Amino acid sequence: MEKGNYFEEDERKPSTKLTPEKVVSLLGRHGTKVSTQEAEIILQFMRKVADVAVNQYLSVKKD
C-alpha cells in the first residue's frame, strides 16, 4: 500500500461487484472482523446511503 493512500489497488476496480464475502475480507485486512450476515447488512446500508446521496445530488442539480 502506498504511503498516504488508504485504498489498495484491487479495492479500486469499478467492474467488480462488492459481495458480502469481499466486505468480510476487506474489513478483515483492516482489522475489523464481521460475519457474512453483518457484511450483508453493511452493504444494504451503504446502498441506501448511496441512493439517498445520488437522489439528493440530482434534485439539487434540477433546481
Question: Between 8 and 48, whose confidence is greater?
Answer: 48
Residue 53: its pLDDT value, please?
94
The whole-model pTM stands at 0.66
Distance CA 56, CA 29 (A): 32
Q: What percent of the chain has pLDDT over 90?
A: 62
Predicted pLDDT of residue 17: 86
Q: What burial class does residue 43 get, using C-beta atoms within 10 Å of its C-beta: 0-12 exposed, 13-18 middle, 19+ buried?
A: middle
| pLDDT tops 90 at residue 35 | yes
